[in-house]
């Protein structure tokens, strides 16, 4: 499994914070992708080791990209303040959910869990 984390997030400062957390944990970041269209194009070109997804993006909700990632077996971490954790877990039972605001240590722990550290 690649140690690359795909970041799908449309808020620049949030994306930079998440990127710092992921890179400090020793993983590479691909993105950020700010729209569903960009995310779908990126997923079509390569699959990451895992993905961190915001739910609301510039062109709608992330679910079309999340479905492709899930169906390809890519672990998903939802990082959003706009989604119900229970609904997300119902639709994506293997996904982790880090509701915003989320501490850097909790997000790092989620990424490390996905990669088996």
Per-residue pLDDT of the chain (117 residues; tens, 9 = 90+): 569 999 999 999 999 999 999 999 999 999 999 999 999 999 999 999 999 999 999 999 999 999 999 999 999 999 998 778 889 999 999 999 998 889 999 999 999 999 986
Q: Which domain holds residue 96?
A: 4-102
Whole-number pLDDT of residue 100 = 87
pLDDT on residue 117: 66
What does the chain come to in residues? 117
Q: How many domains is the chain built from?
A: 1
In this structure, is residue 114 part of a structural domain? no
CA distance 14 to 45: 25
Residue 55 lies in a domain: yes
Tokens of 49: 């080791």
**Within-domain flag for 112:** no
21 φ, ψ to 5°? Answer: -60, -45
Alpha-carbon torsion (70, 101, 22, 42), positive or negative: positive
CATH code of the domain covering residue 55: 3.40.50.2300
* Token code pair at residue 35: 């729209």
Residue 35 located in a structural domain? yes
Both tokens of 97, joined, read 């959910």
Model confidence, pTM: 0.95
């Amino acid at each position: 499994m690649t140690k690359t984390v795909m970041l799908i997030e449309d808020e620049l400062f949030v994306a930079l914070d998440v990127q710092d957390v992921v890179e400090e944990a020793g993983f590479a970041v691909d993105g950020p992708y700010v729209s569903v269209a960009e995310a779908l194009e990126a997923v079509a070109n390569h699959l990451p080791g895992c993905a961190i997804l915001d739910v609301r993006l510039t062109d709608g909700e992330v679910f079309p990209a999340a479905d492709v990632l899930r169906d390809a077996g890519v672990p998903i971490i939802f990082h959003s303040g706009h989604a119900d954790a229970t609904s997300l877990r119902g639709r994506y039972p293997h996904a982790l959910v880090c509701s915003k605001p989320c501490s850097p240590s909790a997000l790092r722990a989620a990424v490390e869990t996905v990669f088996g550290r």
